[in-house]
Structure 1
Amino acid sequence: ISNEFHYCATCGRSTGVRLTFCKRCQLVYFCSKACKVAGWNAFHRHECQIVNQISEGDRPITTSKTVSSKNKVCF
């Protein structure tokens, strides 16, 4: 059982919705296709590219919208 708290990266909803993670980076969650598209266009496209580039080198990740701690990325 995971104690991690997940929420939609676009609208912030966490209860009463089914969250799905980004299939590329598997680090952020979205509650709907509309939020996924809006989040991708607004901020996640850039974040996802950075995460994928850095994850190959296994270095800590920090962007304007992320904070890394012990291989966990929070959005």
Structure 2
Amino acid sequence: MGWPEAPETSNTLGWSELRHGQLIEVLDSDLIVSRGVVDDFTSDRQVVWLRLSYGTGRQVFHQRDGWQLRAVRGTP
């Protein structure tokens, strides 16, 4: 029995490219600090709410805080 395949990551995502239901990682200096599905965002896409992976709740991130976003292909 093998390990499940890890989702593939892609390049850094611009905040303006966010889509509802998209699986993303939040990075700080290229270190993953969070992963989840885009639950909502403001109309100017300066703030995003993630439904965190593994049922650990919901978290908000502000672009002005310097977070980087990275799209993940695969199942949340």
Q: TM-score range by the shorter chain?
A: under 0.3
Higher strand share: 2
Please, what TM-score do these two structures have when normalized by structure 1? 0.26
Between the two structures, name the one with larger relative contact order (CA 8 Å, sep ≥ 6). 2
Q: Which has the higher helix share?
A: 1
